[in-house]
Amino acid sequence: MMPWHPEPTADLLGTSRDLPLAKVVRDDMLGMILSGELRPGQRINEPDMALRLGISRVPVREALRELESSGLVVARKHAGVFVHEPDAQEVRELYEMRAMLDGFAGARVARLPEAPRTALADVLDESIRHMKAAFTAHDVQCYYRENLRFHWAIVEAAGNRAMAATYRGVVQKLHLSRLKNLSQDTGMRSSIAEHEKIARALRKGDMRRCEDLMARHVSDAYQRLRSTDTPSQQGDSPCNAAPSR
């Protein structure tokens, strides 16, 4: 599963009696946040959320507390709960963290036995083909989604659940910083070339090169992003309304 894809809440409400209601509501709001239906900086109205799902406000409050603990929403005294909007410093720090995590994941997957490593390289090559098609079609949103898929395939294959959970949180917060700016081409051609180098190093089992390429790729993506930001923004689009560089 991709790091921003909760299951559809309507389906869960109708079919699952085992999941806590607050978790179902959390996943529903998470999907609205990551799809951009709830925008960064927007106030989340508890009564509206409860009415939308046909439930009381209690599980909505519980869901908001959980989202706050993950850093995706922020509660402001006497004002309400708002979708988090990362500032320039936070975006920089998140990219620094992501560069370390990607490098770690790259080193781990390059050490995989030949069969699973080759299978992963095939997945990455297919992802790169989709990126190239999106580039040719000037479809930045689909490129962005496929880019995330490429990195998430590596993270999952690394086989470290704690790292994957941390990575998911970092990517989701970075996605909030991109929701206002998902139509800009932030260097797709250069990014594709970097992905191709990563896939080749992985296929060869070159651990040091794969680690270095992954970390530098994320750092370079941040620099490309900064070059497209306005001075007030400085400090990685979803196809089908579902969103790394």
Domain ranges of the chain: 9-83, 88-228
- Share above pLDDT 90 across residues of the chain, in percent, rounded to a whole number: 72
> Per-residue pLDDT for 240 more than 60?
no
Q: Which of the four CATH numbers 1.10.1660.10, 1.20.120.530, 3.40.920.10, 3.90.230.10 does domain 88-228 have?
A: 1.20.120.530
How many angstroms separate the CA atoms of 127 and 213, rounded?
17
> Per-residue pLDDT for 7 more than 70?
no
> Per-residue pLDDT for 174 more than 80?
yes
**CB of 46 closer than 8 Å to CB of 64:** yes
With bands split at pLDDT 50, 70 and 90, how would you rate the model's confidence at 243?
very low
> Per-residue pLDDT for 73 more than 80?
yes
Average pLDDT over residues 221-237: 64
Q: Identity (one letter) of the amino acid at 68?
A: E
> Per-residue pLDDT for 94 more than 90?
yes
> Per-residue pLDDT for 242 more than 90?
no
Name the more confident of 10 and 105. 105
Average pLDDT over residues 175-191: 80
**pLDDT score, position 244:** 41
Q: Kindly write down the DSSP assignment for every residue of 131-169, as one continuous string.
A: HHHHHHTT-HHHHHHHHHHHHHHHHHHHT-HHHHHHHHH
SS3 245: coil
**pLDDT score, position 4:** 54
Highest mean pLDDT, choosing among 15-29, 143-157, 223-237: 143-157
Out of 44-53, 56-65, 178-187, 232-241, least confident range: 232-241
> Per-residue pLDDT for 241 more than 50?
no
**pLDDT score, position 3:** 57
With bands split at pLDDT 50, 70 and 90, how would you rate the model's confidence at 99?
very high
Average pLDDT over residues 106-122: 98
CATH hierarchy code of domain 9-83: 1.10.10.10
Instruction: List, for residues 13-69, the tens digit of each pLDDT value.
Output: 554 555 689 998 999 999 999 888 999 999 999 999 999 889 999 999 999 999 999
180: Cβ–Cβ under 8 A, 6 or more apart, which residues?
39, 40
**pLDDT score, position 236:** 44
**Rounded to 5°, angle at Cα 243 from 41 and 24:** 75
**pLDDT score, position 181:** 63
Average pLDDT over residues 224-230: 74
Dihedrals φ, ψ of 37, to 5°? -65, -35
> Per-residue pLDDT for 154 more than 70?
yes
